[in-house]
Chain A
Amino acid sequence: MSDLTEGFAAAFRLLFGFDADLWEIIILSLEVNLAAVVLSCLIGLPLGGALAVYRFRGRKAVIVLVNALMGLPPVVVGLVVYLMLSRSGPLGALNILFTPGAMAIAQAILVTPIVTALTRQIVESLWHDYREQLTSLGSSRRRAIPTLLWDGRTAVLTAILAGFGRAAAEVGAVIIVGGNIAHHTRTMTTAIALETGRGNLALALGLGIVLVTLAIVLNAAAWMVRERSTPEAALTGAKL
């Protein structure tokens, strides 16, 4: 019990004393998460849109596969990316193992299926409603994808936030490809995983508080986005 209270006290001292080590970790984590999410959106938004509007042989199998990939175990992704990027691996020449770049790539692999699968659902339901109207206006399927993504922007944003949440929470992938190197590849989750064992409870707890706060903020943001996207909200917005 005293461990816990002392830990919390120390954690708050670190946080609000703007301890350099702690904030370095927080900022690096957010940078890696953000890079991973941007990368995932570059792939997942057009891919999800394409899966929604195009019909081709094997489409259902691809959708099932993408949905299944949402549950990829982070350690396995970490392992595979490690093997790809290690010196003897096929991408070893890039020499980016144990860098934030490698961590962003590993997390992007975890987040891309989430963004792709959720975007596919959102756009497909819009396409069902809009197909005849857009076709009548001369819009090709390809041209319809950005239109539909923009029309579903609030739902798409919640999908992106879900992906961000996944990146922020995972530890298995970044610890393998990043290595938890101090001042270089140490993120909130890897620090908690390893510093706890070394008795550095204040740092671990401080980071834990930040992570939980981040999760709450992300979910609150997603909730507010959904609230605002209802037709009633659009109506009130118009009257304001």
Chain B
Amino acid sequence: MEAPSILPLALENISLRHDGQQILDRINMLVARRRTTVVLGPNGAGKSMLLKIAHGLIAPDRGTVRWSGLSGAAAQARQAMVFQKPVLLNRSVLANIVHAVRLQGVARAKAVHRAHTALDYVGLGDMAIRPARSLSGGEQQRLSFARAWARDPEVLFLDEPTASLDPAASWSIEQIILELRREGRTAILSTHDLAMARRLADDLVFLHHGRALEAGPAANLFSEPKTPELAAFLKGELHW
């Protein structure tokens, strides 16, 4: 974490169309350092696309993703992403992390050491030699977090990381997210889960129909929503 920061991140005027639909419409967003920014919104609001654009996996039709200092692959190397459905290689738990760390140019022995540390970090230390795909859904997602953490990212994109998990598994993932924040890492988390957003968000962006209707410190938005859409969402009354 000693490398110069790539934050703040500025998304400027991001627009994306797909199949004739406006997925994202002129999104402006600022992500501050060492905070957890939650992108909140109902399903289909464009949250996943926004994260993927910010992470550089998808190019927007219009707009700019601006990191501080670095750009392109150099900036991406300081980031990691955890997807809603874990994508794990058909090899052991440990080998999945080793592969990810080796891609950073780390020597094998060091990568193995770091992989073990990462597994301990998420509480999977005794599962190193298991086939990754034999893990439960919650364990697979913890492995995804271990793989992300092993690369020592400054910024983590977390795309609905608990949406497919049961409450106990979700809770353990939330503990990891809180720990990441304590370590001074910056997270950008998308979710439709209001309770989770309340527990984790420092800053909040409310996304609806591809537009960022509100953005700011989470406490302000939760206590005084300015748009009827967010007010309705907070009351559980926003109907699609």
Contacts and interface: CB of A to CB of B under 8 A. Distances in A.
A137 B57 CA distance: 11
B215 to A, nearest CB: 25
Nearest to A234: B131
Contacts of A234: 90, 131, 133-134
A231 B133 contact: yes
Contact of A138 (B73, B130, B133, B147): B73
B119 interface: no
A58 interface: no
A125 interface: no
Contacts of B80: 136-137
A151 B151 CA distance: 21
Contacts of A130: 87, 89
B100 interface: yes
A136 B134 contact: no
Contact of B83 (A132, A139, A231, A238): A132
A235 B134 CA distance: 5
A151 B81 contact: no
Interface residues of A, number: 20
B55 A136 contact: yes
A215 B142 CA distance: 45
B89 A147 contact: yes
Nearest to A139: B103
Chain B residues touching A, range: 20 to 34
A151 B104 contact: no
A133 B73 contact: no
Contacts of A151: 89-91
B131 to A, nearest CB: 5
Contacts of A132: 52, 57, 81, 83, 87
A158 to B, nearest CB: 15
B237 to A, nearest CB: 34
Chain B interface helix/strand/loop/mixed:
mixed
A147 B88 CA distance: 12
Given A147-B99, A238-B131, A136 B81 contact: yes
A238 B130 contact: yes
A129 interface: yes
B124 interface: no
B134 A129 contact: no
A177 to B, nearest CB: 40
A151 B131 CA distance: 12
Contacts of A231: 133-134
Contacts of A199: none
Interface string A140-154: 000100010011110
Contacts of A137: 80, 99-100, 103, 147, 151
A237 interface: yes
A95 interface: no
B189 to A, nearest CB: 16
A20 B99 CA distance: 50
B77 interface: yes
Contacts of A153: 90
B76 interface: yes
Nearest to A132: B57
A136 B104 CA distance: 11
14 contacts: A132-B57, A132-B87, A136-B57, A136-B76, A137-B151, A138-B73, A138-B76, A138-B77, A138-B103, A152-B90, A231-B134, A234-B90, A237-B131, A238-B130
